[in-house]
Amino acid sequence: MKVGIMGGTFDPIHIGHMLAAEAARDTYDLDEVWFMPSHIPPHKEDAGVTGLMRLEMTAEAVADHPSFRTLDWEVQRGGVSYTVDTVRELRDTYPEHEFSFIIGADMVAYLPKWNRIEELAEMLIFIGLNRPETKLSVDELPEFLRQVVVTAEMPLIEISSTLIRDRAASGLSIRYMVPDRVYDYIVRSGIYAVQP
58 binds ligand ATP (CB under 6 A): no
Q: What is the dihedral angle through the alpha carbons of 56, 41, 130, 159, rounded to the nearest 10 degrees?
A: 60
159 binds ligand ATP (CB under 6 A): yes
Judged by beta carbon, residue 11 or residue 60, the one nearer ligand ATP is: 11
Rounded to an integer, what distance in angstroms lies between the CA atom of residue 29 and that of residue 72? 24
Q: How many residues bind ligand ATP (CB under 6 A)?
A: 18
106 binds ligand ATP (CB under 6 A): yes
Query: Taking the mean position of all CA atoms in its chain, how far away is CA 37?
Result: 7
- The piece of 26-34, 75-83, 117-125, 158-166 that touches ligand ATP (CB under 6 A) is 158-166
Give least dist CB 38 to ligand ATP, A.
8
Q: Which of 3, 4, 5, 17 binds ligand ATP (CB under 6 A)?
A: 17
CB-closest chain residue to ligand ATP: 104
**Cβ count within 10 A of residue 150:** 14
Residues that bind ligand ATP (CB under 6 A): 8-11, 16-17, 20, 103-104, 106-107, 129, 131, 157, 159-162
